[in-house]
Chain A
Amino acid sequence: MSAAVRHTDVAAYALGLLEEPDRRAFEGHLPACPACRHELADLRGLAAVLKELPSFTG
C-alpha cells in the first residue's frame, strides 16, 4: 500500500505528518541511511520552532 520510501519523506516524518504505514516504513529506512538521520536531526529543530508558534493561520 505504501510506496517505496523516499529520502524526502524525512520532512513529513519530522513534522509528524506521515500516516502509520508510511511512518513505520520510514523508521525502517532510517538505520540504513545516514543522510536521512542527519537531515532528521536538522529538521527536528525546525519542527520545534514551528511548534512554538502560537497560532499561525495563513
Chain B
Amino acid sequence: MAHRTPTAPGTWSWFRAAPGSVDDQVIVTELYRVYGRPLLSFTLRLTGGDRHWAEDVVQETMIRAWRSAHRLDENAASLLPWLATVARRIVIDDRRRRSARPQEAGEGPLENLHAPDGLENMLRSVVVSEALLALSPAHREILNETYFRDRSVNEAAEALGIPVGTVKSRVYYALRALRVALEERGVTP
C-alpha cells in the first residue's frame, strides 16, 4: 500500500517518543493505522464473528494501549502481541459479565485460548494471512500455484504454461515481498 510507511523494528517509538508533545488523536489514529486491521481480524475470531462486539473490543484495547504507553516494552518490534493479549482479556471479561453462570456458560469457545501457545500461533497466523493478502496478485498467485498447492516449480510451470525459470524467479520475488510485508507488521522471521 503506497500510503503505508514501511516500519522497521522498534517501530512504535512514535508512540512514546515525546510524551505530551504528540496529540492524543494522532496517537490513536496511528495505533489504528498500524494495528487496526490485524487486531480486528484477531478479535473477530475471539468474538465468534460478532463484528460489532469485536470493534468495541478493539476500541477499548486501543484506549488501554494509549493509557499504558509508559509500561510497554520499548524494544518490542511490534505492539501486536500486547494488544492481542489485552483484547483477549477484554473478551473474556465481557463474556463473564454477560453470562448468568460465569463458571460454565460461554467457557467453551475460549477454552483452547487459555494456552499462551495457542494465542501466539493464532495471532501469528492472522498476521501472516494479512501479509499474504497484502502481496500483489502476481506474487500471491505464484505462491498459491506452488507452495500452497504442494507443487514443485516444474509442476507449476507446466500448469501455468510458463518456463520453470520464470516460476523460480517469481517465487523468489514473492518471498522477498512477503518478508517486507511481515516486517511491516512486526514479524521478523
Residues of A at the B interface (CB closer than 8 Å) are: 3, 6, 8-12, 14-15, 17-19, 22, 42-43, 45-46, 48-50, 52-54, 56-58
Contacts and interface: CB of A to CB of B under 8 A. Distances in A.
B144 A11 contact: no
Contact of A56 (B124, B148, B156): B148
Contacts of A43: 175
B175 A17 contact: no
A12 B171 contact: yes
B80 to A, nearest CB: 14
A21 B153 CA distance: 12
A12 B168 contact: yes
B178 A58 contact: no
Contacts of B147: 15, 17, 50
Given A11-B172, A12-B172, A15-B147, A3 B128 contact: no
B16 interface: no
B154 A19 contact: yes
Interface of B: 121, 124-125, 128-129, 132-133, 140, 143-144, 146-148, 151-154, 156, 164-165, 167-169, 171-176, 178-179, 182, 187, 189
Contacts of B167: 12
A50 B169 contact: no
Nearest to A51: B147
A12 B135 CA distance: 18
A7 to B, nearest CB: 8
Contacts of B132: 56, 58
Given A18-B152, A56-B132, A58-B140, A48 B189 contact: yes
Nearest to B167: A12
Given A15-B146, A19-B152, A50 B128 contact: yes
Contacts of A14: 175
